[in-house]
Amino acid sequence: MAPPAGQIRPGRYLAIFALIVVGLYALVFFTGDGKPTPKLGIDLQGGTRVTLTARTPDGQPPTNEALNQARQIIETRVNGMGISGSEVTRDGNNLVITVPGEGGEEAKQLGQTAELNFRKVVNAVPAAQPPAGTTPQVAQQQGPGDQQKAIDEAKALRQSTDPNVQMQALQTLNCAAEDPLRGNDDPKLPLVTCDREGQQKYLLEPVFLPGKEIANSQAVPPNPQSGQPGWTVSLDFKSEGAKVWADFTSANVGQQAAFVLDTEVVSAPQINQALLGGNASISGQFNQESATDLANVLKYGSLPLAFDQSEAETVSATLGVASLEAGLIAGGIGLILVAVYCLLYYRLLGILTVLSLVLSGGVVYGVLVLLGRWVGFTLDLAGIAGFIVAIGITADSFIVFFERLKDEIREGRTFRSAVPRAWTRARRTILSADAVSFLAAAVLYVLAVGQVKGFAFTLGMSTVLDLVVVFLVTHPLVMLASKNKFMSKPSVSGLGAVQRLGDQNRAARKAAATTAKEA
C-alpha cells in the first residue's frame, strides 16, 4: 500500500542515493586511469590556450564542414607536437587550442592556414626598406566590413590581369605592412606579393600546382658536402602532383618557381634542370625550428579557412597552482559561511543542511572526474565560480523546505505531522526555482563563448544535482529526524520558539471552537 501524500519511506530513498554514489565512484576508480582527479583547465594547472577566429574571403560565416575539417587538421598538428592532454575544440566560429604544461608556445603557430601553392615568377624587384628606426606597419582593429573592403581593394590591385596595374602594384606594395590577402588570394589569378623577409617583391603567374598535391615533407639539416649550407624543407608529391611538377620543370628550365605559403614567397629557386623524381626542396633563411615547423604544417595539411589569433593566453604552472588554491579557498569560505548561518538559525536542520551540502559536493566531484575522462571537460576558474554560486542555490532549496516546515508548525502541527505537508508545499517551489536557474544556465551556455561556458555548465550541472540531493537525501533525513524522539525535541531541532507559537495558535483555535460550540 502506497504511503499517504507527502509520506515516504526514507530508508528506501537513502538506499537509492547510496547506490548512486557507490556506482559513481566505482566508475571513478575502476575505469580510465583510475585517478580520482578532475581534468583541470590551463588557468588551474598552467599551459597555453589559443583562440582562433575563422574568416572567409567573401566575409560570410564559415560552414560547419569547413570548421570541422579545420579542427581535425589542427588537432592532428597538435598531436604531432607530442604533448599529452592537448585538445582542440569548437566554440561557435572559433577554434580553441589548449596545451597543458610547457611547450605551449608552439600552439600559437598552429592556426596558420599553411596553404602552399606553386607559381611561376614573372618579375622580381628589391623591396624598398623603411627608414632606420621606424616600426613596421601593423593592421588596425577593423570590423568585418572594413576587413572585406581591404581584401577586395588588395585583390583589385595585386591580382589584376592588366600589365599596367601589375607594374603599379609592384611599385606601391609595402612589404612592411600587414597583408590583407594572407590566406585570401585567388589561386586562378596572378599575384603581386613579397617574400617572408620583406626583401623582395614578386609578380607571379596563377597557381600551376596546389599544395594539396604534397604527399610528405620533412626538415633537412645542412649538408656542406653537397653544397647545402642551411636547413631546407624536402617535399614529396603525390602521383598527379609529381607529373605536373615534372612537366613544369621540363618546360621552364632557367626560370624561377615560387613556393608561396599563405601569399608569402618562402623560396623562389631557379630551375636548373627538369626534376622528374616527384620531389622538391624549399630553401630559405631557415633554422632548425622554422624548417621543422614548416615541414609539420605542410605534412598535416592545408586548412580550408584562414584564421586570426584573437586570443592567446599562457599561464605558468606556479600561477595555475595559486589560482587553484584561490578558487578552493573562495569555495571553502562560501561553504563555511552557509554552514555557520544554517547551524545558528536552524540547529539540527542546519546540521542536515551541511551534511546534504557535503554529499552534494561528493557527487559533483565524482561527476567532474568522469566528465573530464569521457568528454574532455576541464574545470577552470570560471567553473569553480559556477560551483560557488551553486552552493547558494542548493542551500536555498533547503531553506524553502525548512521555512515551509516552520509555517506548518506555526499553524499548530507537530514536527512529525508537519514534515509531509511542508514537503508537498515546498516541492513545487523548489522545482520551479531550480528550473529557472537551469534554464538561465542553459541559455548562457548556448550564447556565451570562452570560459563563460564553463561557468554556465557547472552552474547548470550543480542545479540538477541539487534536485537529486534534496529529493533523495534532505527530505528523507528530515523525515527520519521528525520520527526520532531525541531529534524531535524542540531544544535539539531548533524549532522550540516556532512550536510554542504553534501551541498558542492551536490553543486559541481550540478555545474559539469551544466558545462557538457553547454559544
What's the number of CA atoms in the CB half-sphere (13 Å) around residue 334? 21
Which of the residue ranges 3-12, 250-259, 438-447, 477-486 would you say has the lowest mean pLDDT?
Answer: 3-12
Cell numbers describing residue 151:
581584401
DSSP 470: I
Contact 75, 88 (CB under 8 A): yes
pLDDT digits (tens, 9 = 90+) for 20-55: 999 999 999 998 888 888 888 777 777 888 888 887
Mean predicted lDDT score pLDDT of the chain = 82
Mean pLDDT of 84-107: 76
H or E segment to which residue 146 belongs: helix 144-158
Contact 278, 245 (CB under 8 A): yes
Mean pLDDT of 237-253: 92
d(CA 180, CA 467): 53
Taking Cα atoms as reference points, which of 77, 85, 88, 84 lies closest to residue 50? 88
Antiparallel, parallel or unpaired: β 94-100 and 191-194: unpaired
Cα R_g (the chain), whole angstroms? 34
pLDDT digits (tens, 9 = 90+) for 149-163: 888 888 999 999 999
Question: Which of helix, strand or coil describes residue 32?
Answer: coil
DSSP letters spanning 427-451: HHHHHHHHHHHHHHHHHHHHH--TT
User: What is the share, in percent, of the chain residues with pLDDT greater than 70?
Assistant: 87
Question: Which of helix, strand or coil describes residue 117?
Answer: strand
d(CA 351, CA 339): 8
Question: Which of helix, strand or coil describes residue 281?
Answer: strand
Cell numbers describing residue 359:
554529499
d(CA 33, CA 475): 36
Taking Cα atoms as reference points, which of 336, 462, 477, 484 lies closest to residue 402? 477
Taking Cα atoms as reference points, which of 342, 334, 427, 337 lies closest to residue 384? 334
d(CA 173, CA 201): 8
pLDDT for position 330: 83
CATH, domain range 116-306 = 3.30.1360.200
d(CA 36, CA 171): 64
Residue 464 pLDDT grade (very low, low, confident, very high; cuts 50, 70, 90): very high
pLDDT digits (tens, 9 = 90+) for 352-398: 888 988 898 899 999 999 998 888 788 888 888 888 888 888 888 88
d(CA 276, CA 244): 10
pLDDT for position 136: 40
pLDDT for position 35: 84
pLDDT for position 2: 46
Q: What share of the chain is helix, strand, coil (3-state, %, to 5)?
A: 55, 20, 25
Mean pLDDT of 278-295: 79
Query: Which residue in the block uniquely carries the three cell numbers 509531509?
Result: 420
User: What is the share, in percent, of the chain residues with pLDDT greater than 90?
Assistant: 28
pLDDT for position 81: 62
Q: b or e along 388-425 (b: 16 or more beta carbons within 10 Å of the residue's beta carbon)? A: bbbbebbbbbbbbbbebbbbbbbebbbbeebbbbbbeb
Mean pLDDT of 238-243: 91
d(CA 321, CA 327): 10
CATH, domain range 42-110 = 3.30.70.3400
Q: How far is CA 281 from the centre of its chain?
A: 38
Mean pLDDT of 410-424: 88
H-type helices in 305-451, by residue range?
A: 317-346, 348-374, 381-410, 415-447
Which of the residue ranges 73-82, 125-134, 181-190, 223-232 would you say has the lowest mean pLDDT?
Answer: 125-134
Query: Which residue in the block uniquely carries the three cell numbers 502541527?
Result: 413
Maximum Cα interatomic distance, the chain, rounded to a whole number of Å: 126
pLDDT for position 442: 93
Say if residue 449's pLDDT is above 70: no
Mean pLDDT of 471-487: 90
Residue 440 pLDDT grade (very low, low, confident, very high; cuts 50, 70, 90): very high
CATH, domain range 10-39+316-514 = 1.20.1640.10
Q: Which amino acid is at 214?
A: I
- 121, 150, 218, 432 from 162: Cα distances, Å: 16, 20, 38, 69
Phi, psi of 260 (to 5 degrees): -105, 115
Q: Where are the domains of the chain?
A: 10-39+316-514, 42-110, 116-306
Residues in the chain, total: 519
Mean pLDDT of 250-260: 91
For residue 160, with 0-12 CB atoms within 10 Å meaning exposed, 13-18 middle and 19 or more buried, which class applies? Answer: middle
User: To the nearest 10°, the Cα dihedral for 29, 32, 36, 41?
Assistant: -160
Antiparallel, parallel or unpaired: β 191-194 and 47-55: unpaired
CA-based angle 397:403:407, to the nearest 5? 145
Residue 301 pLDDT grade (very low, low, confident, very high; cuts 50, 70, 90): low
d(CA 21, CA 59): 51
pLDDT for position 140: 45
Contact 331, 387 (CB under 8 A): yes
